[in-house]
Amino acid sequence: MAIFRPFKAIRPTRDKANLVASRSYLSYSDETLKEKLEHNPFTFLHIINPDYKDKIKLKGVEKFKAVKEKFNKFKEAGFLITEPSESFYVYQQIHGHHIFEGIIGATAVDDYLNGNIKKHEHTLTAREEMFKSYLDTTGFNAEPVLLCHKENTTITAIIQQYKGTRAEYEFTTTNKVVHKLWLVNNTDDIDTITNAFGTIENLYIADGHHRSASSALLSETSNKENSQYFMSFLIDENQLNIINFNRLVKHTNGLNPSELITEIGKSFTVTKKGNTTYSPTLTDEISMYLNEEWHSLIAIASTVKQDCVSKLDPAILSNNILAPILNITDEK
């Protein structure tokens, strides 16, 4: 059963939440990033880019130490405060007509290690080690792992209860996403949330495989209690909006386009779809862009193993095209 517990967050004061909040720095252009760093003294981007004014950029542990130092300065300046008591946080994002909402708390590394938290991606060892070093040096999780769970009426009721009250934070970011966050520090509500998640057998990683894997690595060498948990945002599976994850293949293993389609045709029904972007609309369907033309690939049932993992589209792609035809066996 899932272990989910409250924690003492370090977070922006209410009046500065919209100024501190940022997207991943990788999503900003160099020009936009520079502008934000120069004109907003409160943005979290200062913490993760402590050397932006330096000609020689820091790397590795030295950069992580600078991140921690900048983080501490934000706390000393009063931009960030420490929660006085362990709490959960109801969090909501509104993207146009789609609403994502759930609860932020701490999930147990043990649940990750024993398989109660399910993963669906391979991770890169180098990135795991890098994130482990980052966590060990800085001492904080900046971005929660996104986990989904089966619908639970008790959890839904708690979320709806808090949505009827004033949010601690409510602001819109420049990418037109509305953010709302409610503080849950009532002991009865905390117990209700903890017990409700205790009835849920499994959680599933939707985003954050490297973050969770690095937390597991850190737990092996650290005796700090906090290192046995990692921050997570848990949402109902019905709210997931699954986006495509495309594979760019750099070679065709010596096959010309006609030969490649012939080989693929042994396991798929192949249909040309012209030069307008085509997205799959059916189960077991994959779209392929080859030789400036889109194709629909629908797996022939007899070529697909019937266990639950093999029936997933990424597995169908790997087992029937990437490995046997293109000789790509390590997708890392």
Residue with tokens 């999930």: 107
Write out pLDDT tens, residues 122-160.
788 999 999 999 999 999 999 999 999 999 999 999 999
> For 303-327, what is the mean pLDDT?
85
User: Over 80: is that where the pLDDT of 307 sits?
Assistant: no
The structure's pTM equals 0.83
User: Over 90: is that where the pLDDT of 217 sits?
Assistant: yes
| Closest by Cα among 256, 258, 267 to 324 | 267
Write out pLDDT tens, residues 55-83.
788 999 999 999 999 999 999 999 999 99
What's the token pair of residue 103? Answer: 């609860």
322: Cβ–Cβ under 8 A, 6 or more apart, which residues? 247, 249, 328, 329, 331
Report residue 332's pLDDT band, with 50, 70 and 90 as the boundaries: low
Under 8 Å between Cβ of 327 and 308: no
d(CA 48, CA 67): 6
Report residue 36's pLDDT band, with 50, 70 and 90 as the boundaries: very high
Residue with tokens 């046997």: 324
> For 5-11, what is the mean pLDDT?
98
Write out pLDDT tens, residues 72-125.
999 999 999 999 999 999 999 999 989 999 999 999 999 999 999 998 877 889
Under 8 Å between Cβ of 209 and 119: yes
**What's the mean pLDDT when you consider all of the chain?**
93
Lowest mean pLDDT, pick from 11-25, 180-194, 238-252, 263-277: 238-252
Beta strands in 200-262 (DSSP E): 203-207, 229-236
pLDDT at 176: 93
User: Over 90: is that where the pLDDT of 26 sits?
Assistant: no
Report the percent of the chain where pLDDT is more than 70: 99
Residue with tokens 């959890």: 155
Under 8 Å between Cβ of 228 and 110: yes
286: Cβ–Cβ under 8 A, 6 or more apart, which residues? 268, 280, 296, 297, 299, 313, 316, 317
pLDDT at 200: 96
pLDDT at 12: 98
> For 297-302, what is the mean pLDDT?
90
d(CA 211, CA 216): 9
Report the percent of the chain where pLDDT is more than 90: 77
Under 8 Å between Cβ of 291 and 274: no
> For 249-278, what is the mean pLDDT?
94
pLDDT at 315: 86
219: Cβ–Cβ under 8 A, 6 or more apart, which residues? 109, 227, 228
What's the token pair of residue 104? Answer: 């932020």
What's the token pair of residue 182? Answer: 């409610």
Let me know how many helices (H) and strands (E) the chain has, helices first.
Answer: 11, 14
